């Protein structure tokens, strides 16, 4: 129970009224995460390498499990939203000056699962396909709905304390920019040759990525549609997505883990989560290594903006490559 100037004994229970619902949704998030990986299948390509592919027809037991989790999570989402609304009316804890806590991280994951639940309901039960065609402005924004959701959620949740998650001026900007240049060169010229390709050869894995192929398809179609659609793909993939993902992983998650477990473990765990979130086994290793680099920059220079810049340049170089 917190006590002190400006705090009363009744505020703390109100502050944590939503926590049980958040725990329930957090469990649902990780169960759904496991379900997503369980639909990945491996088959040998023409070159004899193993290709990771997502099956279109999951087992019946898995479909029923996902449906059950979704229905339970829907109830949890309603309870979570009501509890937050009630405590928000009675306290101002969302916009307080308290430090980043595990409860903040728990609530972030809960909100992520709320988004995931409603997305499954809408696209699984209501819509037969996507709302917008691939390559259009609407299609580009639709494919990045999760990141756009984070861009709204995180600044709102941490209003008044964004500096806590690294939204502030970097320390030693000149040295940071030099570090970013060196790291980008290493990512572009060394990562594949020194790590990704040798490891893939050793495991007999193909580096063919369904996710990257889908992104390439969307970018090429945007280019063929019109200049406005092409510019939108630059904006979303090259700028908005890096900002959203860095706010979550290097801002919220890494900051908390580093404080709890130290710099090395915090950066490794947040990078692991970052790589897993993409559900891309073919490119898991480079995503993890890039995550380590982003985590180092955020921690070394005490700001997420260096990580955002490196992430954005890396994404924009990919967009330009696909445009060619």
Q: What is the pLDDT of residue 11?
A: 34
SS3 assignment, position 7: strand
pLDDT of residue 57: 80
From residue 167, give the alpha-carbon distance in Å to each of 36, 170, 173, 248, 303.
32, 9, 14, 11, 6
User: What radius of gyration, in Å, describes the C-alpha atoms of the chain?
Assistant: 21
DSSP string, 66-100: HHHHHHHHHHHHHHHHHHHHHHHHH--GGGS-PPP
For 47-57, b/e burial (b = at least 16 CB within 10 A) is eeebbbbeeee
**CA–CA separation, 226 vs 218, rounded Å?**
13
| CA atoms 289, 312, 254, 297: torsion sign | positive
Residues 273, 278, 282, 287: what is their CA dihedral angle, to the nearest 10 degrees? -60
CA distance 68 to 88: 30
Do 288 and 147 belong together in one domain?
yes
pLDDT of 9 higher than 70: no
Q: Please tell me the predicted confidence (pLDDT) of residue 226.
A: 84
Q: Given pLDDT bands bounded at 50, 70 and 90, which one contains residue 65?
A: very high
pLDDT in the model for residue 97: 52
Within this chain, do residues 257 and 163 fall inside the same structural domain, yes or no?
yes
The reply to whether 48 falls in a domain is yes
In whole angstroms, what is the distance from residue 130 CA to residue 151 CA? 22
Query: How far are the Cα atoms of 173, 215, 246 from residue 182, in angstroms, in the given order?
Result: 14, 26, 20
Determine contact, residues 258/172, Cβ cutoff 8 Å. Answer: no
Is residue 319 in some structural domain? Answer: yes
Q: How far apart, in whole angstroms, are the C-alpha atoms of residue 61 and residue 63?
A: 5
Number of folded domains in the chain?
2
Helix (H/G/I), strand (E/B), else coil: 49: coil
Q: Would 5 be classed as within a structural domain?
A: no
Kindly report, residue by residue over 67-102, the tens digit of the pLDDT. Answer: 999 999 999 999 999 998 887 655 544 444 567 899
Task: Provide the residue range defining the domain that includes 279.
Answer: 133-151+159-324
- Whether 46 and 167 map to the same domain: the answer is no
Q: Which pLDDT tens digit goes with each residue over 104-124?
A: 999 999 999 999 999 999 988
Q: Does some domain include residue 202?
A: yes
Q: How many CA atoms lie within 13 A of 93 on its CB side?
A: 24
Are residue 142 and residue 258 in the same domain, yes or no?
Answer: yes
Cα–Cα–Cα angle for 173, 178, 180, rounded to 5 degrees: 90
229 in a domain, yes or no? yes
Query: What pLDDT sits at residue 102?
Result: 92
Q: Are residues 142 and 193 in the same domain?
A: yes
In tens, the pLDDT along 203-259 reads 899 998 888 888 888 888 888 888 898 899 999 999 999 999 999 999 999 999 999
Pair 109, 144 in one domain: no
140 and 248 belong to one structural domain: yes
Claim to verify: residue 143 and residue 268 sit in the same structural domain:
yes
In a domain, 3, yes or no: no
- Is residue 1 domain-resident? no
Q: 102 and 177 in one domain?
A: no
Q: Domain check: are 228 and 273 in the same one?
A: yes
β-sheet bridge partners, residue 50: 44, 205
Kindly state whether residue 239 falls inside one of the protein's structural domains.
Answer: yes
- pLDDT tens digits for range 121-167: 998 888 878 888 888 999 999 999 999 999 999 999 999 899 999 99
Strand-strand pairing, 40-44 and 50-54 = antiparallel
Same domain, 53 and 78: yes
Cβ atoms of 38 and 281 within 8 Å: the answer is no
Decide if 309 contacts 180 (C-beta within 8 A).
yes
CA 320/CA 315 separation, integer angstroms: 9
**67 and 203 belong to one structural domain:** no
Distance CA 81, CA 175 (A): 44
Neighbours of 189 (CB within 10 A): 10
- Say what the pTM is: 0.90
* Number of C-beta neighbours around residue 180 at 10 A: 18
């Amino acid at each position: 129970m917190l006590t002190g100037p400006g705090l009363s004994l009744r505020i703390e229970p109100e502050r944590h009224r939503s926590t049980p619902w958040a725990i329930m949704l957090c469990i649902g998030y990780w169960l759904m995460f496991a379900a997503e990986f369980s639909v990945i299948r491996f088959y040998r390509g023409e070159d004899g390498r193993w290709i990771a592919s997502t099956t279109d027809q999951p087992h019946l037991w898995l479909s029923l499990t996902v449906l059950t989790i979704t229905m339970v999570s829907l109830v949890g989402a309603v309870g979570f939203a009501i509890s937050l609304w009630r405590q928000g009316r009675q306290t101002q804890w969302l916009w307080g000056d308290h430090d980043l806590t595990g409860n903040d991280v728990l609530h972030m994951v809960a909100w992520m699962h709320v988004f995931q639940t409603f997305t499954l309901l809408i696209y699984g039960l209501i819509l037969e396909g996507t709302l917008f065609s691939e390559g259009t402005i609407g299609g580009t924004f639709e494919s990045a709905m999760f990141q756009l959701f984070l861009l709204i959620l995180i600044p709102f949740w941490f209003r008044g304390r964004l500096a806590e998650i690294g939204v502030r001026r970097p320390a030693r900007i000149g040295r940071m920019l030099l570090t970013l240049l060196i790291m980008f060169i290493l990512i572009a010229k060394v990562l594949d040759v020194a790590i990704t390709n040798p490891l893939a050869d050793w495991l007999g894995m193909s580096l063919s990525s369904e996710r990257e192929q889908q992104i390439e398809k969307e970018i090429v179609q945007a280019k063929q549609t019109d200049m406005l659609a092409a510019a939108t793909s630059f904006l979303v993939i090259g700028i908005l997505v890096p900002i959203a993902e860095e706010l979550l992983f290097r801002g919220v998650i890494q900051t908390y883990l580093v404080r709890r477990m130290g710099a090395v473990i915090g950066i490794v765990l947040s990078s692991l989560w970052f790589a897993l979130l993409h559900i891309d086994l073919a490119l898991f290793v480079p995503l993890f290594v890039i995550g380590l680099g982003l985590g180092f920059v955020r921690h070394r220079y005490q700001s997420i903006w260096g990580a955002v810049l490196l992430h954005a340049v890396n994404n924009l170089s990919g967009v330009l490559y696909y445009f060619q």
